[in-house]
Structure formats: C-alpha cells, structure tokens
Amino acid sequence: MAKGRIRAKIRRSGLYTFCVRPQEKHAQEETSLPEGPGFSRIVHCNQPDVHRRKPYRYRANNISTTKYNVLTFIPKGLFEQFRRAANIYFLLAAILSVTSVSPFGSVSMIAPLAIVVGLTMAKEGVEDWRRFMQDMEINNRKVTVHKGDGVFEQFVWQEVVVGDVVKVHKDEFFPADLLLLSSSYEDGICYVETMNLDGETNLKIKRAQEVTLPLDDDAAFKDFQGMIKCEDPNPSLYTFVGNLEYDRQVYPIDPTQVLLRDSKLRNTTYVYGVVIFTGHDSKVMQNATESPSKRSRIEKKMDQIIYILFSVLVLISLISSVGFSIMTKNELPNWWYLRAPDPQGLYDPNNPILSGLFHLVTALILYGYLIPISLYVSIEFVKFLQAYFIDNDINMYHEESGTPARARTSNLNEELGQVDTILSDKTGTLTCNQMDFLKCSIAGVAYGTRPSEVELAAVKQMAAELEGKDPDIPSAGQKSEVELETVITAKDEKDHKHAVKFFGFEDARLLNGNWFKEPNLEVLLLYFRILAVCQSAIPELNEATGLYSYEAESPDENAFLAAAREFGFEFIKRTQSAVIIRERYPNYSEPVEREYKILTLLEFTSKRKRMSVIVRDEDGQILLLCKGADSIIFDRLAKHGKTYLEATTSHLNEYGENGLRTLALAYKKLEEAEYNAWNNEFQKAKSSIGSDRDANLERLSELMEKDLTLVGATAIEDKLQEGVPGCIDKLAQAGLKLWVLTGDKMETAINIGFSCSLLRQGMKQICISTAQMEESANDSKEKWLLYTDQAIKENVLLQITNGSQMIKFEKDPNAAFALIIDGKGLTYALEDDMKFQFLSLAVECASVICCRVSPKQKALVTRLVKEGTGRTTLAIGDGANDVGMIQEADIGVGISGCEGMQAVMASDFAVAQFRFLERLLLVHGHWCYKRIAHMICYFFYKNIVFGLTLFYFEILAAFSGQTIYDDWYSLSFNVVLTSLPVISLGVFEQDVSSDFPALYQQGPRNLFFDWTRILGWMGNGLYTSLVVFFLTIAIFDSHAFRPSGQVADMYVMGTIMFTCIIWAVNCQITLTMSHFTWIQHVLVWGSIAMWYVFITIYGALPLDISGNVYQQFVEILAPATIYWTTTVLVTVLCVGPYFIHMAIQRALNPLDHHIIQEIKYYRKDVEDQTMWHREQSKARTKTKVGFSARVEAKMRQLKTRIQKKQSGSTFPSPASLKS
Amino acid sequence: MNSSGGARKEGGSESSSKKSSKKPKYSRFTQQELPAWKPILTPSWVIGTFIGVALVFIPIGLATLSASGRVVEIIQQYDEDCVPPSYKSNRVAYIESNSTNKTCSTSLIVPKPMKAPVYVYYQLENFYQNHRRYVKSRNDKQLRFKDSANSTKGCDPEATLNNTGPIVPCGLIAWSLFNDTYKFSINSKSLQVSKKGIAWESDQKHKFGSDVYPKNFQSGPFIGGAKLNSSIPLSEQVDLIVWMRTAALPNFRKLYGKIERDLDANQNISVIIQNNYNTYRFGGRKRLVLSTTSWIGGKNEFLGVGYLAVGGISLFLALGFILVYIFKPRVVANSECPSVWS
C-alpha cells in the first residue's frame, strides 16, 4: 500500500512538471495555494472527459481491495505460498525426490505438495473473489450524474469521473470526494453523517460557497464551468487545501465544503457537487490500511511443536545417517551381495562420510512424515468450514438489518475460545445511540411508571432465580405472583414498544392533558416549556404524517423534544431569532402557537455541562431556561430555588441506579434592566478579539447562570442494543472481563455502566480523573503550580496507588471494584513508567470504564492489556474510531448491520449486534478452540505413529533408507486414509451443546493445548508406534503366517503394519470424539473401510502400478487368520492406555464438561428439572458484574424479607421486588 | 426539495430482497444440530469394556496357543558344521574357492509326528535383503515381458554383460540367489521335495513371464549365487520367485519346498547339503528348518501369549475399576462431590 502511494506521488509530480506548471503560476498570483508537489491536482468542473485523457488520467472511481488479479494470481499466489517455511521444506523435498537420493518415488512427494498448494491457493482465490464481489457491489451503486445539457442520469459509481457533477439525494452515500456546490437549502448547507469515517454519529454541517449557490437545479449545470486546483490525494480527513476558479474569480475551498466518500447525506433533500477525488484517491480509501495478519495462540504454539518435531526429525536423521556411515564403512565391504561401492558414491565404504551426507538428505525426506504437509491443508479446510458455520448460524442472524455474522478471516476461529478480556466501544455497540424519555421528576414528584430495561431484566432474572434456586422458600402462591409480575411487564413492553420514537414515558397523570389536573401546574408548565424551548434543534415536518421530527445535535435533545411534543408542547419552527411552540391545553380545543424570542443562547459544551437560553415570551417576560448535569445545576441554585431539591435528588439517585441518564432543569426570571446590562457586556465580550475572549465569555455565562430555581429532572434511557445486559451477564459468567472504552463523557459512561450492569450500587468506584484536580485548582492560588504536567502525572499516580491500596485492604470477599478513568488521566496512565501500575489496578477491578478516549488511546489500551497481561483480547466496535483498537486486539470484531463499514473492514469477525458475541464466543469460540486443539494434537499423534515406524524399520534395514511401506500407502496415509476423520473432529466435535458459560474458561486457561497434553499425545504416539512396529515384527518374524507355509515378505509386513496403524489411529480418534453424527460415523469407519477398498483396488491394478503389492490383499493377506487377529490385538493394545486414562480421569478427576455430559446422558436435565437448574446456576462463574451479581445482592435482601413475612403469609409486593 | 422518491423506493425493495437472500438457511447441518450419538464413559461402560475384552481375548489366546503348540518344527544350523575342519579358521576362503567340496551331510530327528505337508525352509541370518540398494536392484518389467529385456533400469551393477547385452533377470537380488540345496532321505530312501505352490500364485502367473528366459545370467566376472537353467522360463523358476520376495528383516526364512509325506516321530532324516551360499563373508548363519503348519501358520507362541496377556490385564483392570467405584465412588452426573465449579 505504502509503496503504491509513493509511486503514485512520483507519477503525479512528474505530470506536474510537464504540463501543469504554467497554469499553476497564473493561479499563484491571486491565491495562496501552496506550490510544489502535493498540490498539483486540477479538476475541470463539468468536463469529465478531460480527465480521462493525458495528462490527467486520474484513477477511476472503481475500487479494488483484492490481492490478486487474473494475471498476478498464479505468480503472486505461489510466492505467498512458498513464503511459509514448511512449504519450502516440502518443495525442497519434492525437488530432491527426483534424484536417486530420495527414498520415495517423485510422484508421492510432488503430488501432496501440489494438492496442498493448490487447495490453499484455491481458498485464497475464493476469498479474493468474495472481496471482488464486495467491491463490485460498491462499484455498482447508483448515483445521479450530469450527462450534459442539464440532463442528469443514473450511473453506477465506477463510471463517475473526476470533474463530473453529481446529484446526491437524501440518505445516499457520496460516491467520491465532492466539492459541495449547492443544496436543497437556500443557504447551501447540508447535513452529513460521517459515521463511516470517524464513528461520530452526530451530523456535521457542510456549507457551499456562496458563489455556487445559484446552481441549484439540474438545468443550471448546462453551461457550468469551473476549475479546481487542489492538493494531491492524501489521507487527512479534516484538511483540504484548494481553490475554485469560477467566473474568473478564485475562491479558496476549505474542508467544510468538501463531502467525503462513504459519508452520507442526511436531512437534506439533495446536493450538487463536483467530483474531486475518485476511487482510491478519495480520502477514505487513502485512509484504508491493510489489516495486520493475525495468528492465533494455538497456531503459534503449533509452530513450536513443529520446531520440536523438526528437531526430532533432524535428530533421527542424524542418528540414521551416522548409523548408515558406520554400516557402510564397517559392514558393507562384507556384504558382497550389495556390490559396494556404487559409481554414484551413495554406498561407498571408502568414503563413508560423503555417503552419510547423501543419506542425511534421504533421511530428512524419509522422516518428513513427522511434519505432515497435510496438517496445514487440513487446518485450513477445517477453519474454512468452521467459518462457514459461523456465517450460517441462524442464531447470529439479525432479522431487522438482514445481516448474518461473518467470519472475515478464518484463522482466528479457535482464538475466539480463548478470549480473556473484551474491550468494547459504547455508542453503536452497547447502545443504539437512541435516547428514550422514560421518567421525570417535576416539582419533587416522580412521574413515569415504565420500568427501565435494567429494572425489567432484574425482575425477570429474579423470578427465574426464585423458581430455580430455592424451591423450598417461595410457596406456590409466591411463585405465581412473581410470574404474573413478569408477564405483565413483558406484555406491557410489547404493547408499547416503539409507539413513539424517543418517548417511552408512561404515566396517566401527565399524558393526554391530564397534567392539567395536577397540583403545581405552574411548575409543570415551566418544565414542559424548558423542554421545548431550551434546545438547538431544527424541526422537520413529515408531510405524510403531519408530524414533526427533529434534527438535533444530540439524541438527548431529540428525546426532550419528543417528550415536549407528547405532553402538548410541540416545537414547530425555528427562525433566526425565535422558536415557535404549538401549545395544547386541555381546556382549549385549539392549540395555541406561541413564539419565544431567543435573546441569547449559551451553548452546551462538555466543559460547561449545561446549556441555557434566555428568551422573551409573549408576555414580555424574560426567562433564563437552563438544563444541565445535576451537580452543576444544584451548585447554581438560588436559596429560594431549592424547594424540590431534596425530593429531586432522591429521584435522581433512583434513576441513576436504574441506568438512566439524568439532567436537571431550572429557570430564573430576569428583569429587563438586569438582562440588558449583562447583555451589553456579553455582546462586547463576544465581539472582542483576544486571548481572553473565551475566558470572558465563560465568566459572563457563569454570572448569568446562577440563582436558578429548580424545576425538576429528566431521566432518559440510553437505549441499549437488544440483549446487551443479558449478553454481558453471560460473558461475565463465563469469566470474561469487559472493558468499555468510549469517547463519551464520564457521566454518560457511568450511566451506561449502570444500565448494562457493569456498575451497580454498592460497587466501589475508583475514579481516576484529572478533572477534579483542575476544578480544585481553580480555587487554588497555586494554580500554575498544579497545572504542570509533572504534578498532574503525580496526582494520577497517587490516585492509582490509592486505588490499589483500597483493593488490597478490602476485607469483604464479595466487594467489587470498578475503575473509571478519563482520557486525560489515561494519557498519563499509559506512559511507560506508569502503565503497569495502572494495568495491575485495572486487572483487579471487576469493571473498567475508560471515557473520553481517543481512537488512538483505544488502541493503546488494547495493546497494554494484550501485552501487559499476555492474555487474549477481543475488541468490538462499530465505527471508524474503533479501527485502531480492532486491528490491535488479538481478535477484532466489527458491528455490521448498521451502515458503517470501516470497523467491519478492519475486523476479523463481523456480527450485527453486540449480543451475538455471546454465541460467537461461548459456543463457536469454545467449540472451535477444542476442535482445533484436539485436532492438532491428534494430527501430530498420528504422524508420530507413522513416522517413527519408518525410523524403527530403518534401524533393522541397516539405516539404508528403505521404507517398509509402499510409496502409495505413505502418500495416501495423510491425504486419503486418515485425513477425513480428523477433519470431522475439527469440524463437528461438540463437547456439550447447551450453554454453559463456565465451560468457556477451559479455553482461556488453555486446558486442551498445554504442554502436558501435547507431550501426552506425543508420548501416546511414541507408544503406539512401538506397539505397532514391534508387535507386528514379533508376530510375523520368520514364521510362516499361512497354513500353506509361506512367510511374510517386506511388503506383506508393511501392509500388515499399515493396517494396524490405520485401525489404531482411527480407533484413537473415536475415543477422542464425544459427538457422533452420521458424518463422523461415515468418515471414521469409512476411512477404515476405505483402506481395505484401497488395497483391494490397488492390488488389482496392473503390475506397472501396483508392483509388489499386486493382488496382495486378496490373495495373500485376507485368507490369513493371523492377519486379522494381529490387527485386533495391536489395535486394542494401542488405544488401551488412552482408554484407561480416560476412565481414570472420569472416575477420579472429572473435568467440567464431563459432568455436564453425564447429566445429559442420564437425561437428568429432563427428569429432574430442579437439579438441572441447580447445576446450571452452579455452572456459572461467580461474577461481580452483570445483573446476576446485581440480582444476587437483591436476592439476599429479598430472602430475609420473605422469611420475615412468611409467618404473616404476606407475599412480596411487586414494588418491593423492583426496589 | 422533492424528487427521487421513486428511486429511493426502488432502493428499498432492492435491499429487502437482499435481506432475504442473506439470511442463512436453516438446516440441521448448518446449525450444527444434527442428531448425534454422544457416548460417555460411565462406570458400566468401562467395566463392561474391560470384561468384554477379556472374554474375547482369552479364548482367542488359548486357541492360538494350542494351534501353535501343535506345530512341529525342526531347526538345524549347518553353516558351522559344513565347513571342513581344515578350513575352520578361514571359512571365507573355503566358500569362495571353486575347488573345495561343498557337500556336507547332516541328520535330523523328528521329535513328534509331522503331518504332511512338511515345509522345508532355509533360514538366513544377518542378510540384509531389506537394504535399499538391494531392494531397488531389480526390474519388474524385464521379468514380465519378453520384449523388455533391455529395460534394466535400477539393476546396476548387474544390468548388462559387457558387449553381450542385458542380463535377464537383472539386478542384485536375482544375482545373489540362494544356491544351497538339500537332499532328504529316510533310511536311504529319498524324500521328494516338491517345489509346487511355494511361490505366490500371482507372482508365478503374472509377475514372472512364462516366455522370459534367463539370459547372460551369472556369466559375468563375479558370480553371485545360483545359476538358472536358461531353458526354463522365469515363471517356472520358483526358487527365484520366492527369493525375489525380499524379506523385511535381516533374519528371515524362505520356503525351499515341501515334503508331501507324513513324518513319524523319532524318524531320522539324513540331509545332504550342497553348502554353496556365501554367508561366511558377512558372518551370517544358515539354518535348515522343517515345519508343519496350523491355521495360524508356523510355530507362533507370541500371538497367543499376547492375547492372553491383554485379556488378563483387562480382567485385572475390570476388577480394579470395580474396586475404585466401590471405594472411591463418585456419583455420576453430580457435581457435588468434586468441587469442579470453583
């Protein structure tokens, strides 16, 4: 990629030298466009054809992310293949097999290599084809392009050329980087969603140049001409340098006039734009980085095993060649029948060292079976099928968006089963970024009866727990009551779900004008008006429904406006200086439209944490309406404005506990004079230029926003994605740690922490932040001192140490800690000298939430966790801001389904929703891990068995390099005869099929691929090889083996031995498996049957091919009883130890999955439900987060209450259940 | 502010059709829900298996052992005895000399009655018929086809005779053909040794041509082993055919012939051996073996012992596991006892 870019640059700068310079000079006179390479692009607007020709030849708008094309596929693909060390070894072996040094025929060496390389390349080809199809889908999207004469027509994206004028409609993506000319709005603005670029969901405003505003209909482009001179393609999303020459004038272009490819037009009916950068030149494509190739832990360990086996290979080859040299020197002169030396010097007693060296090569090839070439291809194939299952899992299919899960790379499947820490983005991943107005507190009265998701989940869980866990405590009546409660709430939810977007409020006291009957009418009115007026949104009338929807900066505002509308205060219009509210009073039949003059608007910033408007209502009264974070508002209340403070505070706490986002609303009445005096100063400050302008404005706002009167508070539910709390709970039960990394504010992040049960009341929060320090610094005289970097850093360190101390001295074993750190604190915490302290604190905490983190910090945190703990990390996110994290983590998961593709493109797996992570990890990950682990162990086992028998025979054949097996046996051993069962193990094995989160820990703890297990399998291989070889030898040595007196020759012996190996390894794999569908049966028993079919057919082939085994099975072996009895004896002896090991393990030291298998086997789950539930709940890892933990705390509470009440036979009321 | 409504509608329908096509199709296979047999090792399975193995293996072991016990085998080493005392210190010179008398006689006593057919073997030791150079040194094509006499690939150094053309059969294996002969007699009545059926039928029929005759064989400067009658086709040269089935191990027996007559106990068989084959140079031994066979072939105690041992161990293990389950019971399907969930 980088190379290509450099080359492109050179090419374009060359272009510049030849033809562009004169014009550039001319332009230079009037503008300040930087000169030189990097700023050479020229676009002739509306003259697309010009750019097709020299000297421009800009890249077309089609994109290609494929690795190969038709021509380069073979050479490049082959090159990629032979970059693998193992393949080089096999290639060398294949080349040498043509010489006389080789112990095998050349076909048997070349054929498997060709198959392996061929298959892998075919896989590459298929994957590349998919990428190609994906590219084609994008390239063939439609866009309206100016064809000439003011006529626009639909074209596909790839036909768009630089200089084209395109018209993009609402909710369409921009096909290329465009210069905005005009929009459906008169002032040429348009709203753009840049989620694909930076992950931000809020809309950005782009503004066209005034000079191009008249170009606002199709016909206007008939004679449109202009020239753009600008920078060369580059990846910087936020800068743009260029000029537009139009009507003999030069206008500078700034980034707000540039619409970037892959961002989306929103809220604007259409825009016109000129194409500046196309295809790979566009900023987003320039930003694309190739995702780093990742390898799973198992695969890395497999490499180590291969090194071990390679050492064994070299060792036995050396033994073999030394033995050969000694034999050659000392014995060969006496072995007259060999007629040594031979002319080639392969058997030269006079030069045994040279012969030994030749033999070394022979031996290296001969024992190559220890490192099976087929291992790679089998693993590739298995992973491909595993990925197929992931892709096709209907449980991970998202119905609404129509997105299935995708395993974008198949080589990390088993890594999914070893994840220790999940790092998750928040917005778009955990939450849908949709806020619902759920509850409110007005004048100290709490309204809103709908439970939040957290409450709901807790109630449900509690009901389930009551049922399953303690069958003795709740009587039948209690149970049914709990059930009833659950049913009611569930039904409730179904009925009202999505009735009104952004509005989940439910309370008869306020809705349908009933609020009029409430006391404190005055305050209610004020409350609704604050909701409706104190905002910065734009209303938009949906003509079909007659309803207004709002385009707001933040989704919270949307919720407020929706709420205001539902309460009867509908915001319908915003003018430059006023907002118009249509107010509906129950006692009037007609709504009243009221205009509120906006005098001043004090904007919301994350620092201020509040927003205010100063308005004059129709009565001429000046009001300051304010909404903001509760702590901020509470600090600014007037003495007489605290009437409702106490009640509101308690409501706010409750809301917070239920996972809702809260804001407080307040107002103050202003006198005309008071306002004017302030406004004068404010206007002055506003128009001043200088370094203290901001500070001045800040001070003035501060002056105005005080002495407020509290009206009430809002509680908004940041809608979690479906099933998020449940999924987090399951993941926590599986022992996974979840870190949330979000760009949001600390408060928001904490709220979300609550709503998805990562945080709960009673959890000790360790907040590390620089904010409180800055605040305190404000009051301090030594402000300058505290502000130094060093001081802040020390402070952060202090906070970290304090946190660690706190955990260290905690006595309560059930205590849980949560670490919340903000971006700035993180900057220091991530520095080299502090990061490990930070990490060790974070690891101790049950939940970690990092807020206000930049995309880069996300990646850094991920790296810290990955490298610091040495555990497997998984990063999940949906936006471009998560790309760094996704690429950095061991496994990157992208949220697909929503429109953003950046994260998905960088990811290894794509799921539509966070909740699918549960199935992806706990089911697929767990299975894949076990499958691959078993498969690799078994693979080495079977090849050790085979390879070592070759070595033993060597010793008995004077180290001469002769094999006892026919070449074709050896060849088909890995390819045909034993490959299918092991593939079925790798694809279909399941230990238990139900969801048992606790079993997942077997992966992170790596129970199935640790060295004891690997060495155990190797030992088993050694044992089996010894049994097979020496037992066969012992039985068939010299005696006749048939009633007709014949003895076994070398080839007969080889076939017998091979039969034993086939039986032994296939029986071994059946013992390894615990799940037999018909496929396994067919493949395992079929492989054994295949062997007999194979030797029958092979023996029947013409002598040229079958040679020494001609008719061997049919004529010689099959009639010999001893052949069959030997097979049985050897097989039983080979698998015996493993069987005994299994029986002992089950009897004395069973693993978790063994017990679950037993329960299933005895159908206890069906017969004894109580017991099954008990086991199920026991099968969870004790967890400190997730709602299970939360419920557990409540359960204790509840139980005591029930016990108390039981004598009086009063049941817990639903209210107490929920509280 | 209007336009494009139609275009977007189209887009909508397009995406909905895409939706349905992307949905994975349900099948038990793709959802990994195929019905499956999920056996697990319960105590009864474990004990049952061991007892089952014991029940099957012990009878087979006994049967095999008894069959092996019925086989009567006479083994007589003769390489030492057949060297005249004067050559004892220089056996190689004796065997390599053309002028020495290679005839030697010995006698065998039949220990038990031997039922016909009695198979006659010669047994060579420390002879590496499995050496790679040796194994490769043949050409199957030449052995089969009359016209392929010239295909002597791999036969060096016994491929062609200087100037006179290819050697048939070529290669070291054929060249080193065993050439000791035995003549048996009881009470000076000679015992016929039949060579019929000692080679594999397929070898005789298909591997060695019935119209291929030995040519230039053993005519070179070095004489290896036996000469072949050049008027008999290869398919009839059974000794060669047997010899060309190279043995797997450096100690091996090969069928020499069979005596189609019962031999009684204590009969004294005198054997006249032509002790031609040079095993003295590589320190190999030669033996003459007479053996009857049973359904398991020759005398083979190992197999029976193996079966009995495995059967016995299984029985023992079955008992062991029964004791384990009695004294250290773990209620299956119950996680209470071992705290595995911790």
pLDDT tens-place string over residues A1003-1026: 888 889 999 999 999 999 999 999
Question: Which of B26, B32, B276, B331 to substitute to test the interface with A, most A CBs within 10 Å?
Answer: B32
Strand A661-670 versus strand A709-720 pairing type: antiparallel
- Asked if the structure places residue B318 within a domain, the reply is yes
Contact B335 A392 (CB under 8 A): no
Q: Any binding-site annotation on A1125? A: no
Give the bridge partners for A442, in sequence order. Answer: A445, A712
Give the bridge partners for A960, in sequence order. Answer: none
Q: Which residues of B touch A919 (CB under 8 A)?
A: none
Examine the domain organization and report whether B188 and B308 are in the same domain: no
From B292, B311, B337, give the residue that closes a domain.
B292
Examine the domain organization and report whether B60 and B203 are in the same domain: no
Sign of CA dihedral A471, A473, A476, A477: negative
Sign of CA dihedral A821, A825, A830, A835: negative
Q: Which residues of B touch A1044 (CB under 8 A)?
A: 197, 293
Q: Any binding-site annotation on A557? A: yes
Beta strands in A757-830 (DSSP E): 764-768, 817-822
pLDDT tens-place string over residues B117-152: 999 999 999 999 999 889 988 888 888 888 888 888
Contact B307 A1125 (CB under 8 A): yes
Is residue A227 predicted with pLDDT exceeding 90?
A: no
Q: Any binding-site annotation on A1029? A: no
Is residue A1166 predicted with pLDDT exceeding 60?
A: yes
Examine the domain organization and report whether B203 and B244 are in the same domain: yes
Q: Any binding-site annotation on A351? A: no
Contact B133 A389 (CB under 8 A): no
Give the bridge partners for A419, in sequence order. Answer: A872
What's the gap in Å between the CA of B266 and the closest CA on chain A? 23
Examine the domain organization and report whether B260 and B250 are in the same domain: yes
pLDDT tens-place string over residues B81-119: 888 888 888 888 888 888 888 899 999 999 999 988 999
| CB-CB contact of A123 with A106 (8 Å) | no
**Tokens linked to A274:** 């000129």
- Asked if the structure places residue B225 within a domain, the reply is yes
Choose between A39 and A730: higher pLDDT. A730
A778 CB neighbour count, 10 Å cutoff: 9
Q: Any binding-site annotation on A600? A: no
Reported confidence tier of residue A1197, pLDDT bands at 50, 70, 90: low
Is residue A319 predicted with pLDDT exceeding 90?
A: yes
Is residue A665 predicted with pLDDT exceeding 50?
A: yes
Distance, CA of A486 to CA of A491 (rounded, Å): 8
Examine the domain organization and report whether B199 and B247 are in the same domain: yes
Choose between A26 and B94: higher pLDDT. B94
Interface size, chain A vs chain B, as Cβ–Cβ contacts under 8 Å = 303
What's the gap in Å between the CA of A420 and the closest CA on chain B? 18
pLDDT tens-place string over residues B12-49: 334 444 445 678 888 888 888 888 888 888 888 999 99
Give the bridge partners for B186, in sequence order. Answer: B189, B269
Position B241 scores a pLDDT of 92
A692-716 average pLDDT score? 85
The angle formed by the CA atoms of residues A198, A438 and A481, to the nearest 5 degrees, is 125
Question: How many domains are contained in chain B?
Answer: 2
Q: Which residues of A touch B297 (CB under 8 A)?
A: 1039-1043, 1045, 1120, 1122
| CB-CB contact of B254 with B122 (8 Å) | yes
Position A566 scores a pLDDT of 85
The angle formed by the CA atoms of residues A391, A392 and A397, to the nearest 5 degrees, is 90
| CB-CB contact of A770 with A825 (8 Å) | yes
Window 335-364 of A, Cβ < 8 Å to B: 335-340, 342-343, 346-347
A313-A316-A321-A322 Cα dihedral, nearest 10 degrees = 140
Catalytic residue among A198, A420, A425, A966: A425
pLDDT tens-place string over residues A1105-1117: 888 888 888 888 9
Of A298, A307, A419, which Cα lies nearest the Cα of A933? A298
Q: Comparing A622-631, A686-695, A702-711, A1016-1025, which segment has the lowest mean pLDDT? A: A686-695
Is residue A509 predicted with pLDDT exceeding 50?
A: yes
User: From the list B35, B293, B317, which residue is nearest A1040 (CB)?
Assistant: B293
- DSSP characters over A13-68: HHHIIIIIHHHHHHHHHH--PPPSTT--EEEEET-GGGGGSTTT-PPPS-----S-
- Asked if the structure places residue B201 within a domain, the reply is yes
- Asked if the structure places residue B138 within a domain, the reply is yes
How big is chain A by its Cα radius of gyration, in Å?
37
Contact A1076 B37 (CB under 8 A): yes
Is residue B242 predicted with pLDDT exceeding 90?
A: yes
Q: Any binding-site annotation on A878? A: yes
User: From the list A337, A1054, A1136, which residue is nearest B172 (CB)?
Assistant: A337
Note whether A1122 contacts B: Cβ–Cβ < 8 A: yes
Is residue A1141 predicted with pLDDT exceeding 90?
A: yes
Most confident region among A786-800, A1164-1178, B316-330 by mean pLDDT: B316-330
Position A85 scores a pLDDT of 66
| CB-CB contact of A770 with A792 (8 Å) | yes
Distance, CA of A207 to CA of A221 (rounded, Å): 19
Specify whether A692 is catalytic: no
Question: Which of A268, A1027, A1039 to substitute to test the interface with B, most B CBs within 10 Å?
Answer: A1039
- Asked if the structure places residue B27 within a domain, the reply is no
Identify the H or E element spanning A108.
helix A106-139
User: From the list B36, B333, B340, which residue is nearest A1075 (CB)?
Assistant: B36
| CB-CB contact of A1217 with A1199 (8 Å) | no
Secondary structure letter of residue A764 according to DSSP: E
**Tokens linked to A1041:** 């083996």
Search chain B and give the residue with CA nearest A1111: B202
How many Cα atoms within 13 Å fall on the side-chain side of residue A901? 12
Distance, CA of A28 to CA of B101 (rounded, Å): 117
- Asked if the structure places residue B317 within a domain, the reply is yes
Secondary structure letter of residue A993 according to DSSP: -
A734-762 average pLDDT score? 79
Examine the domain organization and report whether B107 and B254 are in the same domain: yes
Q: Which residues of B touch A394 (CB under 8 A)?
A: 23-24, 26, 30-31
Reported confidence tier of residue A82, pLDDT bands at 50, 70, 90: confident
Is residue A1208 predicted with pLDDT exceeding 70?
A: no
Examine the domain organization and report whether B203 and B90 are in the same domain: yes
Examine the domain organization and report whether B279 and B303 are in the same domain: no
Distance, CA of A1069 to CA of A1081 (rounded, Å): 11
Reply yes or no: is the peptide bond before residue A55 cis, omega within 30 of 0. Answer: yes
Q: List C-alpha distances in Å: B89 to B83, B180, B275.
A: 10, 21, 17
Contact A169 B26 (CB under 8 A): no
A459-A463-A469-A475 Cα dihedral, nearest 10 degrees = 130
Question: Which of A140, A327, A337, A950 to substitute to test the interface with B, most B CBs within 10 Å?
Answer: A337
The rounded mean pLDDT for chain A is: 80
**Tokens linked to A481:** 């009551």
A373-377 average pLDDT score? 78
What's the gap in Å between the CA of A303 and the closest CA on chain B? 30
Distance, CA of A22 to CA of A241 (rounded, Å): 20
User: From the list B255, B306, B324, which residue is nearest A1046 (CB)?
Assistant: B255
Note whether A1043 contacts B: Cβ–Cβ < 8 A: yes
Contact A1078 B34 (CB under 8 A): yes
Question: Which of B8, B19, B91, B128 to substitute to test the interface with A, most A CBs within 10 Å?
Answer: B128
A458 CB neighbour count, 10 Å cutoff: 23
Give me the amino acid identity at B192: Q
Strand A189-193 versus strand A242-246 pairing type: unpaired
Contact A1154 B295 (CB under 8 A): no
- Asked if the structure places residue B180 within a domain, the reply is yes
Most confident region among A473-482, A799-808, A1124-1133 by mean pLDDT: A1124-1133
Interface ipTM > 0.90: yes
Per the rule left: phi > 0, alpha: psi between -120 and 50, beta: everything else, A1170 is: alpha
Q: List C-alpha distances in Å: A1176 to A1156, A1173, A1194.
A: 9, 5, 20
Examine the domain organization and report whether B212 and B310 are in the same domain: no
A20-48 average pLDDT score? 57
Distance, CA of A1047 to CA of B41 (rounded, Å): 41
Distance, CA of A1174 to CA of A972 (rounded, Å): 50
Examine the domain organization and report whether B235 and B268 are in the same domain: yes
What's the gap in Å between the CA of B2 and the closest CA on chain A? 7
Contact A1043 B295 (CB under 8 A): yes
What's the gap in Å between the CA of A97 and the closest CA on chain B? 15
Position A346 scores a pLDDT of 80
Q: Which residues of B touch A955 (CB under 8 A)?
A: none
Examine the domain organization and report whether B203 and B302 are in the same domain: no
- DSSP characters over A602-669: E---TTT-EEEEEEE-TTS-EEEEEEE-HHHHHHTB-GGG-TTHHHHHHHHHHHHHTT-EEEEEEEEE
- Asked if the structure places residue B24 within a domain, the reply is no
A180-194 average pLDDT score? 82
A279-308 average pLDDT score? 79
pLDDT tens-place string over residues A1085-1096: 999 999 999 999
Note whether A217 contacts B: Cβ–Cβ < 8 A: no
Where in the sequence is the domain holding B67, given as residue range(s)? 39-71+298-328
For B142, phi and psi rounded to 5 degrees?
A: -65, -35
Find all residues with CB under 8 Å of B316, minimum gap 6, and list them. none
- DSSP characters over A880-922: GGGHHHHHHSSEEEEE-SSS--HHHHH-SEEESSTTHHHIIII
Examine the domain organization and report whether B55 and B195 are in the same domain: no
| CB-CB contact of A723 with A912 (8 Å) | no
